[in-house]
Each structure stands twice: as C-alpha cells, then as structure tokens.
C-alpha cells in the first residue's frame, strides 16, 4: 500500500477533530480562509496558468478567465453576501402555535469530500471549496490525476495558504479515490462522468452521506429559422471550442430547424476562421485534447458527417481542429455519447416540434440552448423540456452568473451550487421552534 493510501484515514480524522472542536465554524475563520484562497490564486497565478498549459495546452487568457478569475469572482460574491445568507430566516408560524418564533438556521455539515475532473481542473475543485468553507466545513480535495500538473500545484499551494487543520489535498487516481470513499464524510461533491458518479453514490450510501453529482451529457442547441446566422455562429464557436470543446456545458450538437442549416453552415465556417485563423493549430486562442485516449476517441467520431470546416488532426500534438459536421444522422457514432471535444454535428429537423421531440426522447441534458426570436418558442422549450439549465441566445455563460444555481437533472446530475446555492448545499437547514414558557 502506498503512503498516501495509508495516510488517508488519519487525514480525515484530523479534519473531523478540528471540525468537532469548532475550528471551522467562526465567521472569522470562514472569511479568513476565503481571503487566503483568493491570495493563493492571485499570488500563484503564474504557476497555475503554467500548470493548465502543461495539462491542456490551455491558453493563458482562457486559463485566467475560466479558472482563476472565475473562482475569485465566486469568492468575492460569497464574501459580499455571506452575512445575509447565514442569517437565521424567520418562518411563519400557524396561528395555533403563536405566540412563538420559527426560524431556519444554517449549520455546517462537517467534513466534505470534493472530487474534481480534469477539464477545468482548478475551477472545479476550488469553486465548490468556496461554498464548503463559507458554510463552515472542513474539506478534503481530490483533484483529477488526468491533469497532473494542476493537481500537483493544488497539492503544493493549498497547504501553504489554507489552514491545514481545515483543508487537506489528497492526490491520486482510482485507488486513492476508492480509499477516500471508504471514509465517512458528511457530504461528497463529485464532478465527472456518470459511471463514476454511480460508484460515488454507492459508496456514499454505506455512510448515508448526501452527494452532489455534477455530471455531463449531450447539451443540445436548437437553431430556429429566424435566428441570425452570423450572431448564432459566432456565439456557438466562442462557446463550443472553448477548452477545445472539453466543457461539460459545451453545445454538444445542433438541431437546425427547417432550412436553418443551409445558412448556419457557411456562417460557422466563417466564424471559426474569424476566431482561430486559417490554421487554428497556430492560434494562441486554441487548446489541446487532454490525452491520447481522448484524442483517439474523438478522431473516430470525425467520420460521422460531411466536414463543413476543420477535420485536421495531429496525434503527437493532441490537436483536433475546430470541426463542424453536417448531414449527421441521429444514429451516427458522434451522437452516441457526450462528444467532449471540438466537433459540432448539425442535424436537420423539420420544425420546432421535432427538435423538442428529439431532446425529450433522450437523457435530460445538463444544458439546453436555443437561438430563436420567438417568445412563444422559448416558452414552449421551457415548458416541454427538462434540463439542468437553459440558455437562450448564449450558451455556457449561465454558469458564470453566481446568483444562478448550477447543476444537472436526471442523468446530468443531482444537486446545485454557486453562490447562495453552495451555502445551502454545504449546510444543514435546521428547523427551530421557540415557544415561550409563559
């Protein structure tokens, strides 16, 4: 057994003891830790940017925007509102219980395990940590072994900046995660795929530990006949090819209504060239595929349709060009699983009814997007489909709004976080009834 495996029970015990002694509960500790986390991100920005480049070829600006600044904004928003979020909430009492007082009090849960994935390896470990600490909990972080440079930067800097009695980092892969999951936690927050999500939930059941599962899936985009092709294409390219398509809420495929595909195809080709140039492999704005296993998986999907733009690959460089495929059949390999890479298939559907039917016949997505000028079509989409989130006219960016809940439904996950929703996820909402004795 490795040293890490042997140490895991003691690490969790140490945090639990600190929690029991009340170390993590004072508001001053919570605020102090959030401030220290922010200092870590700003003072070590260069090291994190370099780690993200090493793991994912992530462009520096994108690394700052989608990982470092993202978590800083979450911290700032939390610090600004924390007092009001934690204030006891009055609850109306029935007449039969008056006089008296009902309140809802938020109390910390205990020790939280946060298991992160490789695609936003910093953000997806630290953004849940913000809510965990703000709610007064201790935390174990398990970053993804598939982004090893970022995982090791987290393991190096977190103990330097944060209270080691309250936060620990455990590096490792399946054996270490399995050993962690044998421990008793008070909440497990897992981001990744649904197969492992089931393993996490099964392990959690042994201890009756509540879980948040932030999973993925195929997030569809409906493009209506009245949508401006240039605006639609520009926004699709900006969001689909971010992090080379390796984003959980990336537009997965387009359902082009009526004759929309004929206008959208050239607009998408133009938007790709406008953003990344004629040779995207030279673009400083474009990342790489995380490893050769995912490169090979994605490479096999490129034959699923007619190439509108892109299609070039370089296995040594783990490069796949931003690619749009047209005339894609619903049965094509690219439609069989979440793409999680820079390939955007377009499927033609006759009308909005067919688009809605296509979506509701499949798993509930993490996000559903639509480009339409029609308010009645928007209302129909909201009423007739279910998804973690909906974005009209703009994919992905809903997750940057700290006052919106972020999470999935059905196969795309359970639970929600960001801002106040994180406080509720990482707190117990305790009901208090206070009846005067006289």
Count of residues in the chain: 438
Tokens 């102090």 found at: 32
Tokens 């109306």 found at: 92
What residues form DSSP beta bridges with 140?
Answer: 113, 168
Of residues 332 and 409, the one with the C-beta less far from ligand NAD? 409
Of residues 20 and 293, the one with the C-beta less far from ligand NAD? 293
Of residues 118 and 253, the one with the C-beta less far from ligand NAD? 118
State yes or no: is 214 an active-site residue. Answer: yes
Of residues 115 and 324, the one with the C-beta less far from ligand NAD? 115
**SS3 per-residue string spanning 314-325:** ECCCCEECCEEE
Starting from the edge strand earliest in sequence, which strands make up the sheet with 138-142, in order?
A: 167-169, 138-142, 111-115, 187-191, 211-214, 413-414
State yes or no: is 72 an active-site residue. Answer: no
Distance of closest approach, residue 311 Cβ to ligand NAD, in angstroms: 23
Of residues 200 and 255, the one with the C-beta less far from ligand NAD? 200
Other beta carbons less than 10 A from residue 205's beta carbon: 10
Distance of closest approach, residue 48 Cβ to ligand NAD, in angstroms: 17
- Cα 262-268-274 angle, rounded to 5 deg: 145
Element (H, E) at 256: strand 251-257
Element (H, E) at 35: helix 27-43
Give the binding site for ligand NAD (CB under 6 A). 115-119, 124, 142, 144-146, 173-174, 177-178, 191-193, 196, 199, 214-216, 248, 338, 340, 366, 408, 413
Distance of closest approach, residue 247 Cβ to ligand NAD, in angstroms: 7
What residues form DSSP beta bridges with 167?
Answer: 139
Of residues 124 and 325, the one with the C-beta less far from ligand NAD? 124
Catalytic residue, from 72, 248, 265, 411: name it. 248
CB neighbour list of residue 433: distance below 8 Å, 6 or more residues apart: 93, 97, 100, 101, 102
Distance of closest approach, residue 146 Cβ to ligand NAD, in angstroms: 5
Catalytic residue, from 214, 265, 338, 411: name it. 214
What residues form DSSP beta bridges with 346?
Answer: 254
Between strands 413-414 and 211-214, the pairing is antiparallel
Distance of closest approach, residue 153 Cβ to ligand NAD, in angstroms: 15
- Note whether 378 and 370 are within 8 A (CB): yes
Question: Which residues does the annotation mark as catalytic?
Answer: 214, 248
């Amino acid at each position: 057994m490795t040293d890490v495996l042997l140490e895991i029970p003691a690490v969790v015990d140490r945090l639990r003891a600190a929690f029991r002694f009340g170390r993590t509960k004072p508001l001053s500790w919570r605020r102090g830790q959030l401030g220290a986390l922010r200092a870590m991100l700003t003072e070590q920005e260069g090291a994190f940017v370099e780690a993200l480049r090493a793991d994912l070829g992530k462009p520096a600006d994108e690394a700052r925007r989608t990982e470092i600044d993202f978590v800083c904004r979450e911290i700032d928003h939390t610090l600004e509102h924390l007092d009001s979020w934690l204030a006891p909430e009055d609850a109306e009492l029935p007449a039969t219980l008056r006089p008296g007082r009902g309140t809802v009090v938020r109390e910390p849960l205990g020790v939280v395990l946060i298991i992160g994935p490789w695609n936003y390896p910093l953000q997806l470990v630290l953004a849940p940590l913000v809510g965990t600490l703000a709610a007064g909990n201790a935390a174990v972080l398990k970053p993804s072994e598939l982004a090893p440079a970022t995982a090791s930067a987290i393991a190096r800097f977190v103990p330097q900046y944060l209270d080691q009695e309250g936060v620990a980092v455990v590096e490792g892969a399946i054996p270490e995660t399995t050993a962690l999951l044998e421990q008793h936690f008070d909440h497990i927050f897992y981001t990744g795929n649904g197969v492992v999500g089931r393993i996490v939930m099964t392990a959690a059941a042994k201890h009756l530990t509540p879980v948040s599962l932030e999973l993925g899936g195929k997030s569809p985009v409906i493009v209506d006949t009245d949508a401006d092709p240039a605006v639609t294409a520009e926004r699709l390219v900006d969001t689909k090819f971010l992090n080379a398509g390796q984003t959980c809420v990336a537009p997965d495929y387009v359902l082009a209504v009526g004759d929309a595909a004929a206008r959208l195809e050239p607009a998408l080709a133009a938007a790709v060239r406008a953003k990344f140039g004629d040779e995207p492999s030279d673009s400083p704005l474009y990342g790489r595929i995380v490893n050769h296993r995912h490169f090979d998986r994605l490479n096999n999907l490129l034959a699923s349709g007619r190439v509108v733009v892109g299609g070039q690959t370089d296995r040594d460089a783990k490069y796949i060009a931003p690619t749009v495929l047209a005339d894609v059949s619903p049965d094509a390999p690219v439609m069989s699983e979440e793409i999680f890479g820079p390939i955007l298939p377009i499927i033609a559907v006759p009308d909005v009814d067919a688009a809605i039917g296509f979506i509701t016949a499949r798993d509930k997505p993490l996000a559903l997007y639509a480009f339409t000028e029609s308010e009645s079509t928007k209302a129909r989409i909201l009423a007739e489909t279910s998804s973690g989130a909906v974005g009209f006219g703009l994919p992905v960016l809903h997750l940057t709004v700290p006052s919106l809940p972020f999470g999935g439904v059905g196969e795309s996950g359970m639970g929600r976080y960001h801002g106040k929703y994180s406080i509720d996820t990482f707190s117990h909402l305790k009901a208090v009834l206070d009846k005067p004795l006289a």
